[in-house]
Amino acid sequence: MTHFVDRRLNPKGKSLANRQRFLRRARNQIREAVQKSLKDSAVADLGKERKIKISTKGTKEPRFRLDPRASGERDFVLPGNKEFSPGDSIDKPKSGSGGAGKDASDSGEGEDDFEFTMTQDEVLDIFFEDLELPNLVRTTLKETPNKQWKRAGITTAGSPTQINLVRTMRNSFGRRLALKRPTMADVAALEAALAAAEQDDPVDPAKISALKEHLARAIAKRKWVGFIDPIDVRFNSFTEQPTPTSQAVMFCLMDVSGSMGEREKDLAKRFYMLLHLFLKRRYKKVDVVFIRHTHDAQEVNEQEFFYSRQSGGTIVSTALDKMLEIQKERYATADWNIYAAQASDGYTQSGDARHCVDMLNELIMPLCQYYAYIEILDEREMEVFASEDSGAELWRAYRTVAEEWSNFATKRIAKPADIFPVFHELFKKTEAA
Amino acid sequence: MSSKLLFTDSEWDFATVERTYKAIEDIALNDLGLDVYPNQIEIISSEQMLDAYSSIAMPLMYNHWSFGKMFAREETLYRSGYSALAYEVVINSSPCISYLLEENTMTMQALVMAHAAFGHNHFFKNNYLFRQWTNAEGIMDYLAFAKKYIAACEERYGRDEVEAVLDSAHALMEQGVFRYRRPPRPSKERVQEKRRRRAEYEEEAYSELWRTLPAGIEPPAAPPTRDHEDEYGGDAKLPEENLLYFLEKNSPVLKAWQRETLRIVRNLSQYFYPQRQLKVMNEGCATFVHYTIMNLLYERGQISEGSWLEFMHSHTSVVFQPEFSDRRYSGFNPYALGYGMMADIRRICEKPTPEDRDWFPSFAGKGDWMGTLKDAWANYRDESFIEQFLSPKLMRDFRLFALYDKADASAFKVSAIHNEGGYRQVRAMLARQYDVGAADPNIQVTGADLKGNRTLFLSHAMHRGIPLHNQTKELVLAHVERLWGHDVKLEEHAA
């Protein structure tokens, strides 16, 4: 007896549990690998599923193995002899892997590092493992678009489509029992008895009239005790329940004046990308607003934000103006968590820095959950400005804001490798939080 | 003639698969006289095939991270196109379960059914090692038990605890088999004592609630909780080659559930041990059978020429053996060697040369190739099969040659080649290469200082002066120490 079984519909992913165990086991190596791969990857690939290569350290599965290279002697047989005769010698391959030197006994001593693909979720989980947005506040529930219908028991009123038949019939049955509604069978029995009585010889008029009366009463009762009465009817009831959603908006402010080259923009983009991924993970809804500025600020789409080659002088405060304008228009603080990240090379028109500081202190910081200022420097500059206290005008001005506001942070980056540590530091989990 | 074709399309459906199966079965049973377990053919998707791979090709397996690692690796290789999925996976169980990949063409399904459901199946059922060591009827139940048991332990003692024991047990898997004998039977009193304990436990764990479960649902398997079991210090016989067995029975620190876990790993290891000694024969048998069946189907006009060509294409790539200097070379291809030898045996039976008559007087020219093969499939393992049946012609075809390797020399020495003077030497050496007993390090428990500081003594008898790989040795010993709970000393000495 042979069985043919179609297993294709069986649940897949039987190995998921093992995969999770493996990820957990290899946590440290994976974390290193993910960070490395994020660091080196192209801007556009940041949030994608990715292939990572981890070392087998920590996931080694050692077995006792023989080591024929250490000492001893052995024989082995190979296929494919073309020119050798007994007594010939063949030089051993220089190091490790090489055709002739390899045989069963030395496999397994040096397990290769290996590659595998992680889903976006797995990558982000690891990436954000110990990060947290500071000052995370849940926004109000008011008029959120997310509502869910939830069962709310049984009611006596509702729309016909929501009739609960079981409950209705149960009530109807109980009522019919309680009021002793004659059944069809009862009526039929009476009718039969009446017919029989009419056939009787001699006819008993008293019995006939009694039966007629019974029958009439039964029929009448069936009329006034309805099969289903409006009081029996029950409806399923649902109520709308608002589900809390939290939302965030991120303002990306970037200086695109002539001094910001591709390299600077690329660094900035990486930072924004991380911030975006991060917010997305924390909030149901995340909006991103791109504002670029030279001596004049505009809201643009992402593409333009990063790739347009607009140029001009620099007035940073225009971007702040723009941000406030958009915020007033679209992002009420009652409903939105507001984040801003500003990237600049730190040069602005003289006097403008002062203006920015005033705006930040008085208007912007009270609105924001968090404001990060990223100054993008040359690597050479990085050395010059080794101390946090020295720097260009904007930097020094912003330092005063940072002293005032704990949710204002300033950082400098010069190369892709700096981004992650800086990001990490900016969004470090605070014990108090 | 076309009316006799089993299928014309490369697409398959269940009716076609079933019809083709019947035709293959007819040839396998009536023409070839194969003797098989009942078959169960399952169609699975590629994802499920990956799943199957990564639980050592068993449909049921306890959870462990190393299977996840295997899966991650296989999946990456597969998705990036480095490796194709096997067309089939077959399980040594009764009924014999063969998985067919849904993406296969109809020709491939036929090939796979002939290969797995009849070739492997016959071999599983008849080879003496499988008969002796594996229990085809019981394996699925045992795996189900193992999975449930490990899961229950994880729940009770925590994942990390269980993982640690499994890690250590896996490290010793190859030292967890009895190579020459069945495990010693426990004494009668011991068995009775165990039975009494079990009854006691069941009594303690009994709950009225279980009675309310609907039929068919069993109460969760609960591992015994008793920490102390009087197994320790029992009937240890030394030396003992089965390290896992020794630790299970004698470790001073293991709790009952940890002993049971070791036992599970040990039983699995034992179950797979014959497989390791029969790679060449097992694959050879399956390949020979599918080759013979597919050709008969073609000769009888049951499959089309196109289908036959497709079959030949995949057959030849399966039995391809790269030469040692080829970049693709990674050792002997068991399919190539096994199939080559079996096809050669048929040739020797049917059209022997004088040389063959010299070498194989017992069957050369006798014509009964199927009988000769069936006898070989039943009564040999790789090592002895090669030792007995590898012919000079095949050695020439493969251009075999033997190298002598001394660790401190800078060059290998060619010690024999495929010529009159070298045949026997080459054959003997190749056979040794397939002796799992010689390839695995020979490690034994030689003593345990149970009265003193409880040091465990292991010894490695070096074969021809080859020592253990030093780094991995230390790593594995750390695992042994974890299981033993005290110092472990490993000495290496010449055998």
Alpha carbon distance A301, A307 (integer Å): 10
Q: Is A68 on the interface with B (CB under 8 A)?
A: yes
Interface contact A116-B75, CB threshold 8 A: yes
State residue B163's pLDDT score: 92
Average pLDDT over residues A111-119: 71
Q: Judge contact between A61 and B108, C-beta under 8 A.
A: no
Of residues B465, B463, B474, B458, the one with CA closest to residue B441: B463
- Residue to substitute from B324, B383, B468, interface A, most A β-carbons within 10 A: B324
State residue A43's pLDDT score: 44
State residue B57's pLDDT score: 67
**For residue B309, is pLDDT > 80?**
yes
Q: Is A297 helix (H, G, I), strand (E, B) or coil?
A: strand
Q: Kindly list the residues from chain A whose CB atom is less than 8 angstroms away from the CB atom of residue B443.
A: 64
Number of residues that this document lists for chain B: 495
Select, from the ranges A37-41, A323-327, A329-333, B53-57, the one with the highest average predicted confidence (pLDDT): A323-327
Interface contact A87-B163, CB threshold 8 A: no
Q: Is A117 on the interface with B (CB under 8 A)?
A: yes
Q: Is A145 on the interface with B (CB under 8 A)?
A: no
Q: Is A112 on the interface with B (CB under 8 A)?
A: no
Q: Judge contact between B307 and B23, C-beta under 8 A.
A: no
Distance to chain A for B400, nearest Cα, Å: 4
Least confident of A85-99, A335-349, A404-418, B353-367: A85-99
Alpha carbon distance B266, B245 (integer Å): 7
State residue B116's pLDDT score: 93
State residue B41's pLDDT score: 92
Kindly tell me the burial class for residue A360, based on how many C-beta atoms sit within 10 Å of its own C-beta (0-12, 13-18, 19 or more). Answer: buried
Confidence category of residue B468, pLDDT binned at 50, 70, 90? very high
- Residues B275-293 have pLDDT tens digits of 889 999 999 999 999 999 9
Confidence category of residue B228, pLDDT binned at 50, 70, 90? very low
- Residue to substitute from B69, B150, B335, B492, interface A, most A β-carbons within 10 A: B69
Alpha carbon distance A290, A338 (integer Å): 14
State residue B487's pLDDT score: 92
Q: Is A93 on the interface with B (CB under 8 A)?
A: no
**For residue A102, is pLDDT > 50?**
no
Tokens of A321: 């103006």
**For residue B83, is pLDDT > 70?**
no
**For residue B459, is pLDDT > 90?**
yes
CB-based burial, A224-244: b 16+ in 10 Å, e otherwise: eeeeeeeebbbbbbeeeeeee
The pTM (predicted TM-score) of the whole model is 0.68
- Residues A23-82 have pLDDT tens digits of 888 877 777 777 676 655 544 455 566 677 777 667 788 889 888 888 888 888 999 988
Least confident of A68-77, A132-141, A410-419: A132-141
State residue A103's pLDDT score: 38
**For residue B126, is pLDDT > 90?**
yes
State residue B182's pLDDT score: 66
Greater model confidence, A130 or A337: A337
**For residue B221, is pLDDT > 70?**
no
| Percent of chain A whose pLDDT exceeds 70 | 78
Confidence category of residue B430, pLDDT binned at 50, 70, 90? very high
Which residue does chain B place closest to A12, by CA atoms?
B48
Interface contact B68-A23, CB threshold 8 A: yes
Residue with tokens 């009329």: A223
**For residue A2, is pLDDT > 60?**
yes
Angle between helices B159-171 and A16-25 (to 10 degrees): 90
Q: Kindly list the residues from chain B whose CB atom is less than 8 angstroms away from the CB atom of residue A88.
A: 413-414
Interface contact B329-A80, CB threshold 8 A: yes
State residue A108's pLDDT score: 40
Average pLDDT over residues B99-104: 88
Residue with tokens 């390949």: B287
Average pLDDT over residues A209-227: 90
Greater model confidence, A326 or A305: A326
Q: Judge contact between B439 and A105, C-beta under 8 A.
A: yes
- Residues B382-424 have pLDDT tens digits of 999 999 999 999 999 999 999 999 988 889 999 999 999 899 9
State residue A415's pLDDT score: 75
Q: Chain centroid to CA A123: how far?
A: 12
Would strands B456-462 and B488-494 be described as parallel, antiparallel, or unpaired? parallel
Confidence category of residue A400, pLDDT binned at 50, 70, 90? confident
Q: Write the DSSP string, B125-150.
A: HH-HHHHHH--TTTHHHHHHHHHHHH
Q: Kindly list the residues from chain B whose CB atom is less than 8 angstroms away from the CB atom of residue A55.
A: none
Alpha carbon distance B141, B146 (integer Å): 9
Interface contact A79-B416, CB threshold 8 A: no
Average pLDDT over residues B11-29: 93
Confidence category of residue A138, pLDDT binned at 50, 70, 90? very low
Alpha carbon distance A128, A124 (integer Å): 6
Q: Is A315 helix (H, G, I), strand (E, B) or coil?
A: coil
Which residue does chain B place closest to A25, by CA atoms?
B65
0.85 surpassed by complex ipTM: no
| Rg, C-alpha atoms of chain B | 26
State residue A27's pLDDT score: 79
State residue A258's pLDDT score: 72
Average pLDDT over residues B49-57: 74
Interface contact A99-B73, CB threshold 8 A: no
Average pLDDT over chain A reads: 77
State residue A107's pLDDT score: 37
| Chain A with chain B: Cβ pairs closer than 8 A | 284
User: What is the three-state SS of A318-348?
Assistant: HHHHHHHHHHHHHCCCCCCEEEEEEEECCCC
